[in-house]
Structure 1
Amino acid sequence: MSDETHICNKQVQNDATSCTSTQKQAHIPHTNFLAMIASQIFVVMLIAGASALPIATAKITLVVCALILLAFLTFWPLHGNVIDRAIALLSCIASAWCATLALKGWLPQSVIIDNETVSMSKFIAAIRPYERWSVSFALILVAATFITFLRQMLRENRTNLVRNLSHTLTASIACAALPGWMFLPSIIRFMPSLRNTEGGIFVAALCILMVILLSGLSYLWVRNNCKNYYENNVTNNIAISLLPIMFSGMLIYIAGLGMLVVA
């Protein structure tokens, strides 16, 4: 029995060593790496450009978000099947619908009156959409977590339970956060009215820095994957590179709140 146990432990150790070795040796081909960077730059420039247009509204940004969602669901870099994609899709639809309702109508382009006094009525009108979407976002995450867990419990073969849960929830959270970019047009229109220009620049610079750092994580996600997860595929890597951009919707939302605070 001791010999069998020793052999079993040795086999497990060899498997772990093999996985670790694969992780260390895993690398992204230069073509894939450049494709990831180009995709992220293109998507950010597209959504920022659409939001900066003089006629920009939340609906225009919503169209760009829909294109990003379509690309992510088409290439789908995570484990899962049609059901997992449907859960992520429904999370995004619910979040986008709530954001559209919250941003219905024109938001105040300034909360300042007489060049120095903050108008509480305008401030409340400006912050109310953020409050509504944050509550909706939290409820969507709770619902997505419950549905994902229930979906895994109904499987006959519950292998890789934790992995499947994490992958589906990651996709659902990213898709639910994507409509946060819909706040960008109102933020851009609001910035010229800031009294504290330095504070507004700091918030904007911090947001841009966080988006860049978050985008860089996609490279680490691919590079550090073990052989059971890593796929040397351009479309797979492009889809993974979209995940940080989708998560960055929450950073845009937070930046909008920061602009109101420093106003």
Structure 2
Amino acid sequence: MVEQTQPDSTLPHRPYRGVLAVQVIALVLLVGASLLGQFALFLEVPLCVAAMAAFTIFWPFRGTWTDRVLGVLAGLISLVFALNALGSGTLYPSLNANDALTIAATPLIHWACVYVMLLALFTVIGFARQMARKERTDLLRSLSQSLTGVVAMASMPGWLFVVVSASCVAFTGPGTWAAIVVSVIALALMVLMVIASRFWLKDFDPDPAVPAPWVGIALLPVMLLGLVAFAATLALLLCQYGPIFVD
């Protein structure tokens, strides 16, 4: 008689169709908002806040509430400085820019500096927390998961900067082909991140107490793609105002 093994009820349900649906909806809304031009922020900001809130609730990592709080803190700081960079810029020193490229890219330069400092700060905090533990089992795993949450939350506001490229004038000359290449690469990276999330779904180990942690896994690549949106915007500005493409 063959003995049947019972499924482990402690393992989280991992519906890939649900993950894919969340990702497609989120990306369609975020990319679609970029088509609104100067009005993109009216949709991008609520979407970013909603994604960050959902990621915190459906935290996909096995950790403590401290990990979530650090992620929320990093996300809020990043969001505030992103909005300020796109607005008055009062939180930043003046760049005294004269050329069109620097003037257009000033919000991106400002936020990039804050982003790098945030990663450095929270990396130090993460190491300090791990060193303070009495039992340092799974140290690297705990540190990597904590920092991944911080990076994801801090990266999400990168989506806001698509409004900068949306406000540019139409591309002309060789800059048009360069802009097409940038757009294709950005879309390819989005597809690759969505595909990669299927493998993450198989390997992730969330807290059993977290409801529907697969939602967090679904949002993880969407949030990390904020960096791709930021980089694509900067590349499009180079295509528009860079000395190579300016007649």
Which range, TM-score by smaller chain?
Answer: 0.7 to 0.9
Aligned residue pairs total 220
State whether structure 2 residue 152 is matched by structure 1 residue 177.
no
Partner residue, 1:251: 228
Alignment of 1:101-112 (within 5 A): 101-104=84-87
Q: List alignment gaps of at least 5 residues for structure 1.
A: 1-25, 107-118
- Secondary structure in 1 matching 2:168: helix
CA distance in 1, matches of 2:66, 2:22: 26
When Rg is computed on C-alpha atoms for both structures, the one with the higher figure is 1
Instruction: Give unpaired runs (5+ residues) of structure 2.
Output: 1-10, 90-96, 241-247
Greater helix share, 1 or 2?
1
1:35 matched to 2:14: no
Distance of aligned partners of 1:260 and 1:210 in 2 relative to their CA distance in 1, 3 Å threshold? same
- Where do 1:235-250 residues align within 5 Å? 235-250=212-227
For residues 194 and 60 of structure 1, do their structure 2 counterparts lie closer, same or farther at Cα, with a shift above 3 Å needed? Answer: farther
TM-score by length of 2: 0.80
C-alpha contact 1:222 1:230 (8 A) present in aligned 2: no
Quote the residue 2:192 is aligned against: 213
Give the aligned residue type for 1:214.
M
CA deviation map 1:52-106 (0-9, x unaligned): 2255243541221000001110010101111000001111111111111211159
Aligned to 1:14: none
The equivalences for 1:1-263 within 5 A come to 32-53=15-36, 56-58=39-41, 60-104=43-87, 121-190=99-168, 192-195=170-173, 196-225=175-204, 235-263=212-240
What is the DSSP-based 3-state SS (H/G/I as helix, E as strand, rest coil) of the residue aligned with 2:164? helix
Q: Is the 8 A contact 1:218 1:240 kept in 2?
A: yes
Structure 1 contact 40–242 (Cα < 8 Å) conserved = yes
CA RMSD of aligned residues (A): 2.6
Deviations 1:141-173 (A, max 9, x none): 011111112222233333221111010000101
SS state at 2:137 partner = coil
Q: CA deviation at 1:251?
A: 0.6
Cα displacement (A) at 1:48: 2.2
CA distance in 1, matches of 2:85, 2:161: 10
CA–CA distance in 2 between the matches of 1:124 and 1:55? 19
Give the Cα separation in 1 of the matches to 2:73 and 2:115.
13
Counterpart amino acid of residue 251 in structure 1: V
d(CA) in 2 for partners of 1:229, 1:90: 21
- 1:20-53 residue CA offsets vs partner (Å, 9 max, x unmatched): xxxxxx9x86xx1111111001001122233322
1:176 alignment partner, SS class: helix
Please report how far the alpha carbon of residue 230 of structure 1 lies from its aligned counterpart in structure 2 after TM superposition.
Answer: 9.7
> What amino acid does structure 2 have at the position aligned with 1:243?
L
CA drift at 1:222: 1.8
Distance 2:193 2:88 in 1: 31
Q: Deviations over 1:235-256 (max 9, x none)?
A: 2222102111111111111111
Preserved CA contact (<8 Å) 1:194 1:200: no
Q: How far 1:189 sits from its partner (Å)?
A: 2.8
Cα contact 1:183–1:256 (8 A) shared by 2: yes
